[in-house]
Structure formats: C-alpha cells, structure tokens
Structure 1
C-alpha cells in the first residue's frame, strides 16, 4: 500500500532506533460523505517506543526539517489540544494525497505509560469502484 510506503519514509526521516508498534494500514469510511457512497481513506497508525525521550525529541526535530525536504508541507507545528499539550506536527504531502499527524507523548505527563512518538498517516478520500 502506498500509505505504508509514506509511513516507511517518515520512519526513515525520524531515524530512530527502537521498537515500532505497527497495526498495519486499514481502510475506513470517510465521514464527510453520504453513508451510501463508497468513499474511503486508508489510515496507518503506528508508533516508536523504547527510545530515550531525548532521542525522540531529536527525531521530532529531524521530522520538522526533513518532511519539507521530502515534499511535505507542515500545516501545524506546536502542541495538541490534550491536557498534556503534547508536541504535534501535522503535514500534508505535495498534492495532498496524504497527511501525517505526529505527536510526542512524554511519559512525565502520562504517568505509567512510556514515552512514544505516535504517527498516523492517512490518505485523501477516494471513491471505490
């Protein structure tokens, strides 16, 4: 799947050595269309974990500079709207075929959960035949 290829390239830009949790890409219905239409998108959520927080912060910086070099336009670079206000980068691919949402979840703000970089790549909506 092309979404998984985009995800792989994002992983290469991040250049983190650690564990990757990958649920695999899945097809989901686009919610902004009539439910009787066959309009879908592909969603690929995964994460980096078992990496020191400082290395994850460096990876976010590599993504911040590397994504534009690879044809991605950063449309948000700040914090998310969670109580922890996690660092978040949202980018769209050239031509907007894909979008990626990257969040650094810091274990110091989430209690017992380990730090991780949460990555979600989604395709544009498409009509199935």
Structure 2
C-alpha cells in the first residue's frame, strides 16, 4: 500500500470470489466498515483473518516459494499501474509476507503489496479512478464494492478480486489532499511453501 495512502511495513498476508469475501469482509469487519479517521485513513487489512459468522476464509492460492508468490503479486500491481492510464509516479516499497490466520506460519503465508500513486496532475486522480473502474470489470477482475468512506473527505474506495490470479486489490482515491494521490494494496490468497522450505516473513 508509502505513506500517503498507506505505508505499511513488510508483513505477511494475501487472498478468490470467496476470496473477495474473505479479504474484503474480514478487512471491513476489522476496520469498521469504512474509514473513520480523516485523510490519514489506511485501507482495511484485507484478508487479515477468518470470519466464522460470515462463513468465509482466506482462499488457497496453491504452492509457491515466497519469492515466486511475491513476483506474482508484483505482477498484479504492475497491471493495476497500467490500468491507471495517467502519467505519474509510484512509491517504491515492495511486497511483504505475513502468516495466514490460523495456519502454521512456517508453512502458510500471504503476500501483500501496499503502494501509492501520485499523478503528474492532481486532477488526474478522478480520471485514473474512472479508468480503474472500467478495467477492473474486465480480464477476470470483478469489482466487489465501490463506495465513499467515512473520512472527512469521503474518499472513493474500490475493492476488486481476480479469482484466477488469486489476488484482491483495495484502492483509495485521496483527491482532496494537498498532494492528491491514490493508495493501492494488492493482497494474495494463502500460499503453502514447497516441501522442505520454511516461510521467510518480512
């Protein structure tokens, strides 16, 4: 997800249709359904755990090394970057790895990649969000939720899943900040490390 929208230290985590439900629902439940602080609001932690009440859990993403899983998530982030369709710059922090809730942390893990996009022109935030809405309804992507959060600026949020890629993305438009930007966090499903390998948490 950088700090403008959401700078997070590298941790471990990731999440498909029940994928979205798991990532989104648990994220929403943990964060209180929309952000309550103002512009410093950080997107909910998608896929942070399981919700028995909702009957959801983080979907399995298969077997992969942490490096391979991180590369897949970075590829999804690159696709989201292309979807923005406006000139600008992205923050540098790479993916992090965290444990899957309720599973052996030495064997199972998720990958998450929080980053920030600053358009060359602040007015392009709205253009980029419009582009994202169009692109996240194609190529295996499905928008699960689009809404304005509870912050003072009523930031536009988009949550979308790609079951084939075993990835979910949470996007927040900070169009009313002094320096407008877009916060993005890509999260994977729950990977299993190859036999004989131990998960390297970041």
The bucket for the TM-score relative to the shorter chain is 0.7 to 0.9
Which has more helix, going by share of residues? 1
- What does residue 70 of structure 1 align with? 139
Aligned 1:18-29 pairs, distance under 5 A:
18-29=88-99
Extract unaligned runs of 5+ from structure 1: none
Shift of 1:100: 0.2
Shift of 1:79: 1.6
Greater shift in the superposed pair: 33-42 or 13-22 = 33-42
Aligned 1:83-122 pairs, distance under 5 A:
83-95=152-164, 97-108=166-177, 112=178, 114-122=179-187
- How many pairs align? 124
- What does residue 40 of structure 2 align with? none
8 A contact 1:96–1:124 mirrored in 2: no
1:80 & 1:60 partners in 2: Cα distance?
15
| Pick aligned residue for 1:46 from 89, 95, 115 | 115
CA RMSD of aligned residues (A): 1.9
Relative CO higher for 1 or 2, CA cutoff 8 Å, sep ≥ 6? 2
Moved over 4 A (4+): 34-37
Q: TM-score, normalised by structure 1?
A: 0.84
Which has more strand, going by share of residues? 1
Aligned 1:3-18 pairs, distance under 5 A:
3-18=73-88
